[in-house]
Structure 1
Amino acid sequence: MKLHILAIVFTGILISCNSSDKTTTIKEESPDTETIVANESNTKDKQLKPIDTDEALIATALMSAPEESRANCKVIGYNMTGEFVTLREGDNQFIVLADDPKKDGFNAACYHKDLEPFMARGRTLKAEGKNYKEVFDIREAEMKAGKLKIPNGATLHIYYGKKTTYDPETSKVEDARLRYVVYMPWATAESTGLPEKPYAANHPWIMNPGTHRAHIMISPVPEDKE
């Protein structure tokens, strides 16, 4: 009987040792798994490059345009040497304004070509040293006098973010996102039924109501926060 009890105890010890060895093996494999994940993450990070060529400026700026229109958009903006030029010719309804490489962060825009006189006037006034309020007031006066026009319903797409690196394979800028503007000169909250501030994230609202620059703002929630 005693021998039988000893055999049972001995068998239990063996099982316990084997289980301990297996647990140890699993734990020892964990760092290797973490290393693989880390290496994959680092590889992904290494795909990102700085926007430091005219070609990169064009590619990233086009991300502000509707995908089906990008092939034929005209692209304008500052090149890498600081000159404001036509970076690429185009023949559809959109003009794309590339990011200014000398400014912090990233900001590119795509707008209907009928907005170009209004946009160009703003760039001219800024180049003359006018501040935001002066530019606003001058263009408002010119709109009222019929010297300048913003087509009702003309759109502006803005692609922006704090970082200036991008994926050359997709042309996406790191952490950049889109927001949209629909111009409706002189519109108000009363005439549109829209609030003057968003009720919640992703809600449209009207900005600069009652002025020449009245517009509907639409700021989509980033995909990773939906």
Structure 2
Amino acid sequence: MKRIITALVFTGILISCNSSDKTKAPIQESSITETATDSKSNDINKQLKTIDTDEDLIATALMAAPEESRSKCKVIGYNMAGEFVTMREGDNEFIVLADNPNQDGFNAACYHKDLEPFMARGRALRAEGKTGQEVFAIREAEMKSGQLKITPGSTLHIYYGAKTMYNPETSKVEGAQLRYVVYMPWATSKSTGLPEVPYAPNHPWIMNPGTHRAHIMISPLPADRE
């Protein structure tokens, strides 16, 4: 009888141990997974640095340009001292405008050199204290008179985002993305066949139709936008 009782007790202990092991196993596995995820996140964060030198401004601004053209682009913009300067000379068809370190977020642009008179005129008017509406009206009049010109099809590449940390190995800014502006002065929805609002992510549409600043917009949009 004692042998039977002893066997039953021993069996109960084994069942209890096995049940305990099964309960602990998922917890241990989950802990390992969480640790691996945290480690990966920390590695990514270690790769990022603040844009705090002129060299950083140049490197990140060039991400707005086509990859094959970056090495020869001219770079202009505000340096870390707050001066608007030529940050790097170039000898191809592109001019790159660096992010303004005194403004929130990140915004760099790349455009064909033929657009520089139009862009420079806008900068000069804003420096005079003109409002956005005033800048628009002045350049509209100057385009109509022939004082300013925009070659239809001239493209502006904009690299932008809410954050200002970047990976110095790749020059990519955290969370930044590209949108494109194709200038088509005086174009309309009727003349181009494009809608005046985007219908899907990266769907081209026409903005400022019928004006000197009419342009085709191609912007990344949230896939779930209604």
Q: Offset of 1:36 from its aligned partner?
A: 3.5
| Native 8 Å contact 2:64 2:110 kept in 1 | yes
Q: Which residue in the other structure is 2:27 paired with?
A: 27
Q: TM-score scaled to structure 2, two decimals?
A: 0.90
Q: Which residue in the other structure is 2:50 paired with?
A: 50
Q: Offset of 1:25 from its aligned partner?
A: 5.1
Q: Which residue in the other structure is 1:115 paired with?
A: 115
Structure 2 Cα separation of the partners of residues 80 and 13 of structure 1: 71
Which 10-residue stretch deviates more, 33-42 or 85-94? 33-42
Structure 1 Cα separation of the partners of residues 220 and 162 of structure 2: 17
Q: Which residue in the other structure is 1:133 paired with?
A: 133
Amino acid at match of 2:150: I
Is 1:74 paired with 2:74?
A: yes
Structure 2 Cα separation of the partners of residues 14 and 63 of structure 1: 63
Q: Which residue in the other structure is 1:151 paired with?
A: 151
Q: Which residue in the other structure is 1:173 paired with?
A: 173
Q: TM-score scaled to structure 1, two decimals?
A: 0.90
| Native 8 Å contact 1:95 1:110 kept in 2 | yes
| Native 8 Å contact 1:177 1:222 kept in 2 | no
Amino acid at match of 1:139: R
Aligned length: 224
| Native 8 Å contact 2:200 2:221 kept in 1 | no
Which digits, 9 at most, give the CA deviation of each residue in 1:167-190, with x for residues without a partner?
111111111111000000000110
Which digits, 9 at most, give the CA deviation of each residue in 1:28-70, with x for residues without a partner?
4543542342132122112211111000000000011111111
Q: Which residue in the other structure is 1:124 paired with?
A: 124
Amino acid at match of 1:46: K
Amino acid at match of 2:159: Y
CA RMSD of superposed structures (Å): 2.3
Q: Offset of 1:209 from its aligned partner?
A: 0.5
Q: Cα gap change, 1:21/1:196 in structure 2, threshold over 3 Å: closer, same or farther?
A: closer
Q: Which residue in the other structure is 2:214 paired with?
A: 214
Structure 1 unaligned spans of 5+: none
Which 10-residue stretch deviates more, 11-20 or 83-92? 11-20
Structure 2 unaligned spans of 5+: none
Which digits, 9 at most, give the CA deviation of each residue in 1:8-29, with x for residues without a partner?
6743542442342353255245
SS in 1 for 2:86: strand
